Each structure stands twice: as structure tokens, then as C-alpha cells.
Structure 1
Amino acid sequence: MKHGRHPLAVLLAAAALIGITSLFGNDYYLRIVFMMCVYYLCAAGMNVLVGYAGQKSLGQAGLFAAGAYAVALLTTRTEMNPWLALVAAAAISGVCGVLIALPSLRVKGPYLAMVTLAFGIVVEKLVGEWTDVFGGAQGIYGIKALTWNGQPLTSEQWVWLGIALCAVTHLLLRNLVQGRFGRALLSLQADEIASASVGVRVYRAKVIAFVVAAVTCGIAGALVAQQNQYINSDFITFHLSIFILLLVLFGGAGSMYGPLVGTVILTVVDAALARWPSAQHFLYGFLLLFALYVMPGGVVGLFSKWFRRSGDAPEAPGAATGSTRIGPGGSGELLVVQGVTKNFGGVKPAQDVSFRLQRGHIHALIGPNGAGKSTMINMLTGLIDPTEGSIRFLDQEVSGRAVHSICCMGMGRTFQNLRLFTDLSVLDNVMLGRHSRMTNGFFASLVSLPSARKQEAATRARALQLLELVGLLHLAHQPAGSLPYGLQRRVELARALATEPQLLLLDEPAAGLNPQETTELGQLLIRIGKCGVTILMVEHHMDLVMSVSDHVIVLDYGIKIAEGRPAEVQANPRVVEAYLGVDEPEALLTEPEGQPC
């Protein structure tokens, strides 16, 4: 019942708008409303790309052109039905979105914005100068308009179609960003490394964001071309790309209603200043800077605190009932590291290191600073590829695999320096850990199929279980970045557990914790071990290591110098030497005679 409230509200709002516009009777006002719908389609998709995925794009005019010229060429040079041509234009724009997304595999930030800007400029020059195909400034005439009952749509009907498309677009994108894929996109914006570590396929998520923005912008361009029955190069300018970006930033990037607010305000301003193009350009530049530096949350962000709920009630423990079994437990070898070496030029943080991890044990990887411990953890999880050697997990070679792939195999981790998604809630952070364990695909999420809703409910319940396990259930709806450092460590631990790991790698989990928090962490690790999870932790707190570990491995300058039970390692002379050094006078006494001091 709750699930259907928002679609019903959107349907009623769309019906009300259609009823109001039917009373206008003035083509000028109808044209303004139609352009609002067009710009909203552009801004809604752009919001997914910029506001959620954090990918900066200045090439939306090129995607607008892809949709407009696709429908123009298909309807003027073939006998294709104009409705089918609209669908084809959306598909062609999506392909162009994939092409723009490819550079995002290698560049990001301002460099990505420059690449997309180059795409927009290339398209602008292409349609302006390749006159044999695109008509240049003269353009393409005779584009077939959409029809109803064999007649071209009237001005009113174009507006009604625009409103209907906007309502459908809003509902579909809301389904997408409020579930599995929305969390994945937000994680990209925060930290791509942490995102991959919880199983998000980073490049695939970027491509999805670019394609969504491309399809909506392409549909908008096609609608303009079909309504005008004419398109030329004057429609495709860099000014259009800036305007679309401004719609999102001014309204409020990352908010479902930001693009709507920005579209309504700026379309009215655009119409009011249509007689003074130079004033338009100046105002858009000013508003863009204003939105970036003075109002980063946009209009919606400025007023959101007035409408924000006082806070979600803490989840009842009963909501998280059920087994907290995580890993399969059992016995035998889980991970085998054989002869692993890593070279960074002349530096070797790992030199022919070999060890084996047994299921159901808590292992510790210790050593002085610079011993190569974190490098080893990064090699195990795919962040760094070893120069030589083999890493086998569950009898499969993992060297060279992508980070998200290793996570999906059953290897979770935390980081030496916290990598939380600080702007997301504690609950959303932990639910992100379940990303790779959810099976609902893009289209199931887009249309909110029952299977997708069931997956979302199961993920939420599991996340609450894990928050109860680490003692953070009462803080589920707090922003993760607002918690004290020690609690943030627990959030990251819960997020790693949400990946359902068989092997959990902890990189200095007690760093920055006070003695009481360290003791509580040790007790928590023992509870996690009883849940069927094998643990390998890098740690400097020897009291913690000796109290919870079953097996200890010692590295020194990238070389394994000892391993065994905690008591055996603690008494090993080479370990004592690595930590405490050798007494210099004693060392001098052992120098052979005749050797210089």
C-alpha cells in the first residue's frame, strides 16, 4: 500500500497539470510548458549522471542532437512510423552515451568534463558543416510529427504527451535511484575504491549513468524535432549543454525534485529574457557560479531543512531477528599465498612471501611499520597485482582479477584509513555491502518489479541484523560521517560483513581506538569468528593480536620472518629483533676480528 502512494500522487499531479493546460488556449504559453517538459527530461537524466554518480558532463547538447537528427533522418529518408522513430532515436542516443562513457574508464573530474565537452563540440561542428547529411544551418525540413488517430498532435496534445513522459521518467528514475543501483551510483561519487571493494562494478555503473542521461536527453531532442518538424544546427550549441547542467545544479543535484524546480524556474526566466540573448548568457553564467559556490545544494537543498523529518525512529531489534550466520565455517585451507613478490621500482614491499590461512581461524599479519602488511592486503583483494607468485582463494587464482570480482568470490575487507560513504546513512552503507549479493538487474529495478522489492526488503533486514551484531542498530539512520571515529570503524566492519565474506581482511581495525574500544573490538571479532567467518587482520596492538589470534604471520621489510601460534611468535628471537632491534654494543662484540667497525 505504501509502495503505491507515490505513483498515485504523481498520476494525480500529472492529471491536474493536463487539466490546467487544457484551459490555456494560448499557443505561446503551451509552448513554454512543452519546453519545460523537454528540459525536465534532459535534467532528470543529467541528475542521475551528475547528482548521483558524480560524473561531470558538458556534452549533453551532442546527445540532444543525436536524438533530434536521428528522428529527422529516419522520418525524412525512410517510411518509418514517427512513434517508432522516437523509440529508435532514444536507442541511438543510448549508444552515443556508451561512447561518451568509455573515456570515464581512464579519466575523471575536470578531465572527464573536458572529454564530454569535446564530444559536444565535435557534434556541433558535424551537424553544422556536414550539409549533405545534416543540412547545416539550413537544416532538415519535413520531419514527420507524432500522430493520433491519423492526425498530427495539436499544441495541447504535445503538452499532454510531454507531461506524461515526464511523469513516467520521474517514476522510473525514482525506482532506480532509491534502490540497489542508486546506492551504487552514490558510492561512485564518494569513493570508487571503497565502492569496488563492496562488489560494485564501477565502470558498468558509470556506463549506466551515462546511458540514462543520454536516453532522456535524446528523447527530448527528438520531441523538439518532431514538434517543430524542423531541426538545424542553431539548436545544437554549447549554451544548451550549460543550460542543462544549470537546471540540475540550480535546482539541486542529487535530489529527485531538484531538476523539476530548476526546470520550472529557469524555463520561465529563459522565456522572459528571450529578447536579450546576451543577458541570458550572462545570467546563466552567474547562476552557475552562484549555484556552485553559494548554494551547492541548489534551491531544494536550501529549503530541504524546513521539510526534513525530525529523524527516523530507531529500528526495533525485532526487525533484525534471525540467524547471524555469515560464512560457511568448516575446516581446511581457504587461502594459499605462494612466492608472492611485489616490486615498485627498486622498492620491494613483498619478497617471496608464502603462507596459508585455515578456515575458522583468526589470523594476524604483523610487523614493524613499512613491513609490507597493507601491500599484502591490497594484493589479496585485487587493488594491487603481484609482480610474481600465486594467490589462490577457494582453489581459484585471484591474481589479476578485478576488485569487485574478488569481493563476489567471498573476500571482504576494511581499510587502514576509513573509506566510508560519509554522506550516506549507516544503514545505506551496510546495504551497499550487499550489492553483489542482490540479483535484481537494471530493468527489474527500473520498473520496480516485485522481485526487486523483495530483494530490497531482504537486504534491509540483513543490514539491520549486522548492525545489531556490531551494536549500531540504534544509529541506523544517522549519517555515517557524523559518528565518532570508533563507531565509524564499526560501520565499516558491518559493511564488510554485509558482503557475506568467507574471508574477512581487516587493515588495522584498532587504529585510533582507545583501550576500552580496543577490548570491545576483540570481543566483537571473536563473535564474528563464531559466525563462520575466517579473519586475517593487520594490527599493531599486540595485546589485541595475542588475545584473539589463533595464528600469527610476521613480516619485516617484505620478508616473512616467522609464523605460528601467538606464544611461539612472541618468543621468536627474529621477531623480537624486528620490533626492538639489536643492542649495538652486543652487535659490535660479535664482529669478527680485523673487520672495521
Structure 2
Amino acid sequence: MKRAQHFIGVAVAAAAVIGVTSLVGNDYYLRIIFMMCVYYLCAAGMNVLVGFAGQKSLGQAGLFAAGAYAVALLTTKTEISPWLALIAAAAISGVCGVLIALPSLRVKGPYLAMVTLAFGIVVEKLVGEWTEVFGGAQGIYGIRPITWNDQPLTSQQWVWFAVVLCALAHLLLRNLLQGRFGRALLSLQADEIASASVGVRVYRAKVIAFVVAAVTCGIAGALVAQQNQYINSDFITFHLSIFILLLVLFGGAGSMYGPLIGAVILTAVDAALARWPSAQHFLYGFLLLFALYVMPGGVAGVFRALFKERTETEAGEKSEEPPKTTRIGPAGEGELLAVEGVTKAYGGVKPAQNVSFRLQRGHIHALIGPNGAGKSTMINMLTGVVKPTSGSIRFLGQEIAGKPAHLICSMGMGRTFQNLRLFSDLSVLDNVMLGRHTRMRNGFFSSLMGLPVAGRQEAVTRGRALELLELVGLAHLAHQPAGSLPYGLQRRAELARALATEPQLLLLDEPAAGLNPHETAELGQQLLRIGRCGVSILMVEHHMDLVMSVSDHVIVLDYGIKIAEGKPAEVQCNPRVIEAYLGVDDEDDIEARETCPPSEGRRDAET
């Protein structure tokens, strides 16, 4: 659905809800609808954190409290406008979100959930026992509500205001999530290393997700406090954190409409069981387990599976048109990368020992050696995944040793992995569009507000991604889930994603691993085409046929030490290389091979 059509649809839906509630005079029912809106705001932000970024949080009650008590203290202790107090409460909650996000740099998964749980418990104890400030069980009275024409909002007007806020939150989050930042957050959930390798600033993206969840939850807490004109510690419990998480999981994590479904259904159920608190808690636990094990996609996932339009395309289908040659990197000559005395030590184990080499523009370089020679470690050091113990790595004249992976990627170095690291649940097209993350110029706020620059950048990125998919012969599979493709085609998709980073130097870690001879031969032709597109290549490879047929320069490692480098024919006959690959019985065997001519037999040798 186009953005304008979606905006009209949301506006009509909000107007319909406002029209219906204008006919409702019962304050009890209006309160239920108001709480549906409050819980939707909590769930919508939580969906960004859990459903998109994959970060587990059990501390939302603490963020709810931050917004509620912020607006309570501001309106009772100062003369600030209630409207400004609401905005300030959102900002204070956002700061709390940053504080929760800080540990996410070091801990993941259940450990992160424990940290957020601890935050929620600390806040619960704080508001319950620091009675001088927060009032404890007695609470804070006299909270000034939002007014209109100098009159407090009526129950109906509170519902209308909450509905407008929910519609606005939905539109803003949709702008954010259906573009550059949404793809970045989904990549975190799939594979943080691969995400950093395509230029996503992993920690920054996590902080954004936590802040969005905190701001929406803080606004929800502030609304409750101002509508009640009262807040106490009974509102802030661990059960609230569980309920907010349940809203997302039951409705459908990762779906734009899952939080709405969860908020409507579970708020109605919560109201129906209000007289039986023990039954409420039992039902929450039951529904949480049910959502996790029976409906992992939530209610929205069930509907999506029922009504999803399926496009049947055979994975092995080939495009009849020859792939186009697309300019990717700049033309030119000269030195591109200089590695000087690089060493990596894991205690007494040294997969790289004082390694030095230089790569030239416009060449295809190969890094070979027996298993355990340190080839993948070298690739990881060049791309920032592993920090070298000592030595210098200069790319485009700048020192990059120890720099983060996303920064090295943005400088113009792309890579693939020995073991596939595609974002399997995303489409092939989205995978490749993620590769252009650092090349897009729309920031967080332009994406959030849906400004024209964000739309233009999205269109350019989509077009460029389709060009690269055509280059590798996958344009006809652009909308297929990347994980559904055969292994050989997944290799091509990962290659296209690496090319989307617009690298000047492309590092390929065993690109032919798992490919049959026909696919390996096609890969060789693709590498030659990529070289003509202005991209220099350094590949780690075991298939000597591929290495000898496409490489201009070969570097050989053995037990972390560079033992040879030069043209393929020279390296192939180097006695130290022969010894490393095949072993020798005595010195006569080495001398006998010193002047050996290139032979098909040796080209077939594999490490």
C-alpha cells in the first residue's frame, strides 16, 4: 500500500473510532478503550525492540513509571504546562532507555533480559519505598491534567486524544521501520557480525530501538497519570512488564499490526477478568506460553499465513539476458591496501605472524594455504571483525587496524563469509538493499517523519540493488526469502550484498565452498565481470583451478607465516608452497620441483 493511501486509511480508521466513542456515554467502556490506546503505545515501541531488533526486555514497567512519575512531579512541584510536562516525560523516558541500552554492548539474549528485569525491579522498589519523593503506596495526588480551552479533558476527549496519539505513533513507526532503519534492526536480530559487515552501526541501532520503546512507554505512563490525576506504586509491577511483552508476542512480534491486535484483545480480556486477579495472572502465563510455542508469529502471523500472496518461482530458473556490466568501484591504478608486520596471538597460538603484503587496484588477488594457515583470521583482521595484536593495516592510505567493522565497510571494503551469513528471513532484495545502508543519506529523523529525501534514497537503493542482482543472475528471485534459495544461489546473493556496499576492495572468504564444478566455473566468470566493474578482489580459496584461472597475484600462508607471493605460475612451482601443500620426503624432492612448469595436475591440487 502506498504511503498516501495508508495515511488516508489510518485517518479514516481513527475518525471512525472517534465517531463511535462519541456515542458512548459510559465512562467504564471509555476507560477500557482509553487503556487499549495506552497499551498499544507500550506495545508499538516494544515491538520495535523485540520484534525488529530482537532485544529482549523485561523492564518496561520501569519506563512506564519514568513517564508517569516525571509528569506527576513536574505538574505538582512546578508551574510547567501539562502539555510541556507530557513532552518532558517522553524525553526523560528516552534518557532512561539509553541507560538500559548501555549494557546491551556487552550482554545479549537472556543476560540482557536479566539486566532489564533488574532495572524494572529497582524502579519498582524506588517508587514504592522512597516515599518522600514518590509517595510510595499513598502515591502522588493533584497531578494537573491536559486541558483544552482551560478545561480538563472529559473521558471522551481523553479517548480521542489517545486515538490520535496512537494513529500518529503508528504512522511514524511505519515510516521508520519500512525503510533503512527497519532493515538495519532486522539484521541485528539475524546476525550482528554480518550486520556490521554491511555498515550497520550495531550498538547505535540497539540504542535507537531501546529509546523508541522507552519514549512510547513513557508517554503511555504519563497519559495514565494525567488522566487519573493520581499515580502510586501499585501501577508499577513486574506483571505490567510481562503484560506489555505479552501484547507484542500474542499480537505478532515484527508485524506493524500485531501490537494493535494484542492491545485490543488482551485489554478486553484483562477488563473481563478484573474481578479475579489470580485468573488474570494464570491467563497471562498461559497465553505467553501459547504464543511462544503454538503461535510464534502471533495472531498477526496466523492471518499473514492465511492471506499471504505466494509467488511460485523456481529457484533454478535462469535469466535469458546476459548480465550487464555495472560500474561499482572507481577506475585507476596504484596501491590499495598495505599490510605491514601484522600479528595475531591467542595466547601461545599465533594464526598470523609478522605478515606483510600489498594489494594493487584492478587486480584479483588470492590468499591461499593449507587448513589452519590463518587465512580467515587475516580476512577478519582486515575487515575489523578481529583486532590484530600488532602491526599496521593501511587502506586507501588510512590506518584501519582495530577500527570497527561498520567504519571499514563505509570506507570501501566489502566482504563475504566462509559460512553463509545471509539474513535468511529477509528477501533477497532486502539483503542487497542492506548492503547500501552506509551509502544512504537519510538519517533517523528524516526516516521517522517520512520526508521526501527518505523516499528518494529508498528508490535509488532499490534500483541499485536490482542492478546488482541482475549482475549475479538473481533478479528473477529478488522477492524470495534468502534462506529459501539453494546453497549456490545463496552464495550469489551474499556476493551481491557485498557489492552493494560499493567496495573498492572486495574480500571473499572461500566463495566456492560447497559449490559443484559447474557453479565454481560460473563463479570464476562472475569474479572476472566484477573485476571489470572497478572492484579489486582478495579471495581466500581452496579450489586451485579457480585461483589459477582468475588471479593476477597469489599470497601463500602456512601456519600464520607468509611463505610465498607472486604470479600464479610462480607460486605454483615454489618449493615451499609444494612442501606446505603436499609434503616432501627429502631435499632432493624440493630441488627437483624448483623449475617445474605449470601443470594441470597441480592446478587441481586443493588444500
TM-score tier by shorter-chain length is over 0.9
1:312/1:477 contact within 8 Å kept: no
Are 1:217 and 2:217 counterparts?
Answer: yes
Residue in 2 that maps onto 1:544: 546
Quick check: 303-312 or 21-30, which moved more? 303-312
Native 8 Å contact 2:251 2:298 kept in 1: yes
Q: Secondary structure at the match of 1:400?
A: coil
Alignment match, 1:373: 375
Matched, 1:186 2:209: no
Q: What is the distance in 2 between the residues matched to 1:385 and 1:266?
A: 48
Q: 2:399 aligns with which of 397, 400, 403?
A: 397
Q: Matches of 2:540 and 2:190 in 1, distance apart?
A: 25
- Unpaired runs of 5+ residues, structure 2, are 591-607
Q: Retained in 2: the 8 A contact 1:321–1:465?
A: no
What is residue 19 of structure 1 aligned with on the other side?
19
Distance 1:506 1:554 in 2: 16
User: What is the TM-score when the length of structure 1 is the normalising length?
Assistant: 0.96
Matches within 5 A, 1:302-381: 302-311=302-311, 324-381=326-383
Aligned partner letter, 1:225: A
1:309: Cα distance to partner? 1.9
2: distance between equivalents of 1:167 and 1:76?
Answer: 29
Q: Is the 8 A contact 2:329 2:503 kept in 1?
A: yes
Q: What is the number of residues matched between the two proteins?
A: 588
Matched with 2:418 is 416
Instruction: Work out the CA distance in 2 between the residues paired with 1:97 and 1:323.
Output: 47
The residue type equivalent to 1:295 in the other structure is: M
1:310: how far off? 2.8
The equivalent of 1:266 in structure 2 is 266
Counterpart in 2 of 1:49? 49
Q: Is the 8 A contact 2:367 2:555 kept in 1?
A: yes
Q: Secondary structure at the match of 1:296?
A: coil
Deviation digits for residues 522-576 of structure 1, max 9, x if unmatched?
A: 0000000000000000000000000000000000111111100000101111111
Q: Which amino acid aligns with 1:549?
A: S
Picking from 445, 448, 451, the partner of 2:450 is 448
**Structure 2 residue aligned with 1:591:** none
Q: Deviations over 1:412-462 (max 9, x none)?
A: 000000000000000000000000111100000001100010000000000
Match of 2:491 among 489, 492, 495: 489
Tell me which residue corresponds to 1:467: 469
Output the CA distance in 2 between the equivalents of 1:168 and 1:543: 59
Change in CA separation of 1:463 and 1:41 when aligned onto 2, cut-off 3 Å? same
Counterpart in the other structure of 1:9: 9
Instruction: Tell me the secondary structure at the aligned position of residue 507 of structure 2.
Output: strand
Aligned-partner residue type, residue 30 of structure 2: L
Normalising by the residue count of structure 2, what TM-score does the alignment of the two structures yield? 0.95
Per the alignment, residue 238 of structure 1 pairs with 238
Alpha-carbon distance, 1:321 to partner: 11
Q: Tell me the CA shift for residue 586 of structure 1.
A: 6.7
Paired with 2:80 and 2:311, the residues of 1 have a C-alpha distance of 53
8 Å contact kept, 2:129–2:136:
yes
How much does 1:250 deviate?
0.3
Q: Residue 385 of structure 1 aligns to a residue in which SS?
A: coil
Distance 2:333 2:100 in 1: 49
Contact 1:480 1:491 in 2 (8 A): yes
Aligned match for 1:506, one of 500, 504, 508? 508
Secondary structure, counterpart of 2:339 in structure 1? strand
**Residue of structure 2 equivalent to 1:567:** 569
Aligned ranges 1:146-295 → 2 under 5 Å: 146-295=146-295
- The 1:321/1:375 distance shift into structure 2, 3 A limit, reads closer
Percentage identity across aligned positions? 83
Contact kept in structure 2, 1:554 and 1:561, CA below 8 Å: yes
Alpha-carbon deviation of 1:3? Answer: 2.6
Q: How far does residue 231 in structure 1 lie from its aligned partner after superposition?
A: 0.2
Aligned to 1:523: 525
Q: Which residue of structure 2 lines up, in the alignment, with residue 592 of structure 1?
A: none
Contact 2:337/2:395, CA 8 A, preserved across alignment = yes
User: Counterpart in 2 of 1:78?
Assistant: 78
The whole-number CA distance in structure 1 between the counterparts of 2:431 and 2:570 is 39
**Residue in 2 that maps onto 1:478:** 480
Provide the C-alpha distance between the structure 2 equivalents of 1:475 and 1:250, rounded to a whole number of angstroms: 32
Which residue number corresponds to residue 300 of structure 1? Answer: 300
Q: Name the CA distance, whole Å, in 2 between partners of 1:30 and 1:323.
A: 62
Which amino acid letter does the alignment assign opposite residue 520 of structure 1?
E
Find the aligned partners of 1:531 and 1:226 in 2 and give their Cα distance: 61
Give distance in 2, aligned partners of 1:464 and 1:312.
19
* Contact 2:134–2:140 under 8 Å retained in 1: yes
Kept after mapping to 1: 8 A contact 2:323/2:472: no
Deviations 1:221-252 (A, max 9, x none): 00000000000000000000000000000000
Distance 1:322 1:572 in 2: 38
1:311 Cα deviation from its structure 2 partner: 3.2
In 1: Cα distance, 2:501 partner to 2:93 partner: 35
Does the 8 Å CA contact 2:101/2:207 hold for their aligned counterparts?
yes
Unaligned 5+ segments in structure 1 are 589-597
Matching residue's letter, 1:559: I
How much has 1:293 moved relative to structure 2?
1.2
Partner of 2:125: 125
Question: Which AA in structure 1 matches 2:412?
Answer: G
Cα offsets for 1:273-323 (capped at 9, x unmatched): 000001100110111111111111101111212221233999xx9xx9997
